[in-house]
Structure 1
Amino acid sequence: MNTYFCYMSKTFLSLLFSLLGVIINAQNIKSVQLRQLEDNNFSTIVPLGTVLELSFDDLDADSKDYAYRIEHMTHDWKKSRLLSSQFIDGFDENTIIDVTNSFNTFQSYTHYAVRIPNVNTVITKSGNYLLSVLNDDDKVIFTRKFVLYENAATIGVNVIRSRNAKTVNTQQTVEFTVNHPKLRINNPSQEVNVVILKNENWNEKITNIQPTFFRQNQLKYTYANKTNFWGGNEYLNFDSKLIRNRSLNVVKIEMKDIFHHYLYPYNYNPSLTYRFNPDINGQFVIRTLEGNDPNTEADYAMMHFTLYADEPFVDKEVHVYGAFNNFIIDEETKLEYDFEDSSYKAAILLKQGFYNYTFATIDNYGNVNTNDVNGTFFQTENQYTVITYFKPFGGLYDRVVGVGTGFYNQDR
């Protein structure tokens, strides 16, 4: 019995240390980007054959061996039935060989990059894809989603103010039409699935909706409430392209082991009214004015966030929220309440660049709310993306046959 207990204890400790190693490693991974090669294009929903580049930094700066793995998924992000040979010419898993060290930075790091497709990996099918990065022990360090689509259907998207009297000032309604003259759809309720994304954030989506009208070669989705989204508010922003000098919305800079940038505080106002402020819908751009290659010459700074509130939110945590960490809520993004000056505060290590962010609350049930702090307004300029999946009876996988986008227009 003692031998068995000793064995189980060693096994548990081994698993625990392995898990802790993955968590620590993941914390040292920063600035993950999966982007097209076009400047200021943040979409990972692209036509089949488009080149996407995955890049990230490892703050350990020790040139680890990382690999990427690509998996084909169903419309609801479960592993599909396809074998890798059925959706990839080449290999679904490869080592990342584009590795460079940072140059002339206070925070040392190693920069990794890989483009897909490449000579080893060519994707041949449309659909949802999960891109995973693995360490030496084949442990998943992080994942990113992307979608490859065909142009087999045309999607028309219209975004309007909510028609519901209760939410007319706070929500937006998405209507859309799927035109499919090239596809024979016999049973739309079984063969077609659609997803509506707000600002390409997979945490804000609507699924499981059926067409409201059927016409020859056309499906119409015109709901009064079922396709409503909270308008939210425009994102806040800052620019840290200058590591030693103040830039946009940076009020103070201190040099410690690295540079610390203090952002202008945000004041919580429950009576806030809408004010237009152009944004990039929560995204970020790595850039520096103090080097030629932002991939390896942009430095890291500790960014200090402050949110003034007369009292803390009851039974809710407050977090910094944005694409800088794939809209994930974790301990690093949590703000702590300081009773001495009635404010929430957090410090997050971020690479130089232009960032959008907002503040989100999370309750005891894990519900994330981006409207508690900044409010929600029907005028907010959001982008909505409709993804249409088609799997005919007997089909092996969900094709993405069309994608459409729409924006709210205040002048309507």
Structure 2
Amino acid sequence: MPLPTSWKQVLLTFAVAATSFTGCVPVEGTGSGSTGGSSSSADLRYEDAVYAADVKSVQLYSRSYSVGDVLAPPVVSLEQSSPLILEFDRMSAPRARALVKLQHCDINWRPSQLQPLQFVQDYNEFFIMEVEPSAGTKVPYWHYRFQVPRVKLSGNYLLEVTEEGGNRLLSRRFVVFEEQVNVALRPVATPGAGDRNARQQLDFNVFYASYPLVNPAQEIKVVLRQNHRWDNAKYFNRPTYIQEAQRRLEYQLFEPEQTFFGLNEFRALDTRSERFSGIGVERRDNSTSPDRVYALTGKSRAQQVYSTQPDANGKFLFGSREYGNAPLNADYQQVTFQLFSPEPAPGPVYVFGGLSDWQLQELFKLTYDPEKQLYTGTALLKQGYYNYYFAVKGASGQADARYFEGSHFGTENVYDVLVYYRPPGTRADLIIGYSTITFNPQR
């Protein structure tokens, strides 16, 4: 259904659609635990965040050959042969048009000193024109879709969505890279004793044979990520060795803090069917509005041996097996997560993964019942396939998934490297190299 020609028609259409959902409960909560919108630039967080309580199910992914892969990370080449697609839902009628702005950032996700005309093709405000109401769902919502415009420079970008008038809705990070240098990644065994069987290490080289780097030790910085996460990314300000004759920067990682815990394969939850219990579903109740889904009661895997199983490396996708069109036909459900634990964990426990933007959100915080020895929590989620961990909030405030999930060298994970370069006398960090590899690929 194309966008109506006027917002008066939009609101009228929504009002008519809402009358067919009598008996529906109000939708509460937000994807980030936020409770309202804001128009102040000081409130903008340079991370994946949701600011409005009615915004849910945000996805930013690359599209290839007219087919969208929602599991693909928001990473594109400067040519953008595979453009980025933003999709999200709003649980209330649109009050004004939504618009998108882009912000170029430095390697540390702080605003760069560039003016918009230096990194965007046109005026830096883009209206979202594809807006459609859900169809046949117990919980009504509006679905937004937007193709991110091409940019002029490589680097880190923050995408900000607001309503006309300034009410901020969401922000999302993405990266644009050039292929000016080559990067070679190599998985290696972690040296030393201790927890070497729990960690994964990669060494890598940056080859700059055809790129004019004058002082690569000072000009080049590198970020190494696990499963496209920013919360535990590793930053390297200097190479281990510089092989000038070969025009090669060598990164050999000797310290434990430079490696990653392999953790475990993710727990899976498949709620795409309204008739059958999918993977990770214990039972469901379709007599309520919205439907209720109860995930299988989880148990600690910290002391278990590693077991290979396919997963989506912490990501998620939406779907409806009965009705097909996920953006508009997939319904929202109250999903209850449960975790058996004979004693309380040493900190608050959360459901953690791509569904929580790799953050410890109040929406996904679990409550412990000492009599039942059970952690429980409920969140409103769109029908789909989800990967998640149970994570404990550590003393530093960071997520620690090892307590309940364990950690293994043999876990399958995806790693990628971003090579940043700030040319002398300039004000922007460019990304001049990118490479990715699967650690322990499953065949």
Q: Same fold (TM over 0.5)?
A: yes
User: How many Å separate the matches in 2 of 1:269 and 1:116?
Assistant: 40
Residue in 1 aligned with 2:331?
Answer: 299
SS in 1 for 2:313: coil
In structure 2, what residue type is equivalent to 1:251? E
25 and 150 in structure 1: CA distance in 2 versus 1, 3 angstrom threshold:
closer
User: How many Å separate the matches in 2 of 1:97 and 1:197?
Assistant: 34
Contact 1:170 1:231 in 2 (8 A): yes
How far has the Cα of 1:67 moved from its partner?
1.5
Q: What's the Cα RMSD here?
A: 1.9
Contact 1:174 1:227 in 2 (8 A): no
In structure 1, what residue type is equivalent to 2:373? S
How far has the Cα of 1:28 moved from its partner?
2.0
User: How many Å separate the matches in 1 of 2:233 and 2:195?
Assistant: 18
Q: 1:279 aligns with which of 286, 305, 311?
A: 311
In structure 2, what residue type is equivalent to 1:274? Y
After TM superposition, list the pairs within 5 Å mapping 1:211-290 onto structure 2. Answer: 211-215=239-243, 216-225=246-255, 227-254=258-285, 255-290=287-322
SS in 2 for 1:189: helix
User: How many Å separate the matches in 1 of 2:441 and 2:90?
Assistant: 43
Residue in 2 aligned with 1:36?
Answer: 62
How far has the Cα of 1:311 moved from its partner?
1.0
Contact 1:287 1:353 in 2 (8 A): yes
User: How many Å separate the matches in 2 of 1:64 and 1:375?
Assistant: 47
Unaligned runs of 5+ in 1: 1-18
In the alignment, does 2:205 pair up with 1:173? no
How far has the Cα of 1:78 moved from its partner?
1.0
SS in 1 for 2:193: coil
Q: 2:189 aligns with which of 161, 173, 176?
A: 161
Contact 1:105 1:299 in 2 (8 A): yes
Report the TM-score when normalising by structure 1. 0.90
Report the TM-score when normalising by structure 2. 0.84
User: How many Å separate the matches in 1 of 2:194 and 2:51?
Assistant: 47
User: How many Å separate the matches in 2 of 1:126 and 1:137?
Assistant: 30
User: How many Å separate the matches in 1 of 2:53 and 2:408?
Assistant: 35
Q: 1:133 aligns with which of 143, 154, 161?
A: 161
Q: What is the aligned length?
A: 388
Contact 1:102 1:109 in 2 (8 A): yes
User: How many Å separate the matches in 2 of 1:269 and 1:214?
Assistant: 42
SS in 2 for 1:169: helix
Q: 1:351 aligns with which of 382, 398, 402?
A: 382
Contact 1:261 1:301 in 2 (8 A): yes
In the alignment, does 2:175 pair up with 1:147? yes
140 and 63 in structure 1: CA distance in 2 versus 1, 3 angstrom threshold:
closer
User: How many Å separate the matches in 1 of 2:141 and 2:276?
Assistant: 22
How far has the Cα of 1:26 moved from its partner?
2.4
Contact 2:263 2:407 in 1 (8 A): yes
Contact 2:308 2:411 in 1 (8 A): yes
More strand by share: 1
After TM superposition, list the pairs within 5 Å mapping 1:53-92 onto structure 2. Answer: 53-62=85-94, 64-92=96-124
How far has the Cα of 1:113 moved from its partner?
0.9
Note the alpha carbon deviations across 1:278-308, whole angstroms, 9 max, x for none. Answer: 1111000111112232111111111111000
User: How many Å separate the matches in 2 of 1:410 and 1:162?
Assistant: 18
Q: 1:99 aligns with which of 118, 131, 134?
A: 131
How far has the Cα of 1:378 moved from its partner?
0.9
Unaligned runs of 5+ in 2: 1-33, 39-49
How far has the Cα of 1:405 moved from its partner?
1.2
SS in 2 for 1:274: coil
In structure 2, what residue type is equivalent to 1:350? L
Contact 1:379 1:410 in 2 (8 A): no
